[in-house]
Amino acid sequence: MAVARSGESYYIAQDLRPELKKAYFLEAEATYKKDGSYKIKKSR
């Protein structure tokens, strides 16, 4: 499950690099287009 892996990665990064203050975990789906635009949709 992608959410579980990404959430775990977020917390590991916080533990290993506490100086990273602007890292966020969003439960959302991101869709990227070839032109570089993107859309973020809240996960259910």
Q: In whole angstroms, how far apart are CA 37 and each of 7, 22, 40?
A: 24, 22, 10
Domain, as residue range, for 9? 2-42
- Structure tokens given for 22: 């602007």
Q: How many domains is the chain partitioned into structurally?
A: 1
Query: In this predicted structure, what is the pLDDT of residue 29?
Result: 85
Find the helix or strand (DSSP H, E) in which 31 lies: strand 28-32
- Under a CB-based contact definition with an 8 Å cutoff, are residues 42 and 27 in contact? yes
Query: In this predicted structure, what is the pLDDT of residue 2?
Result: 57
- Under a CB-based contact definition with an 8 Å cutoff, are residues 33 and 20 in contact? no
Q: How confident is the model over 1-44, as pLDDT tens digits?
A: 555 777 788 888 889 998 887 777 778 888 999 999 999 998 76
Q: How confident is the model over 7-16, as pLDDT tens digits?
A: 788 888 889 9
Q: Is the pTM of this model over 0.75?
A: no
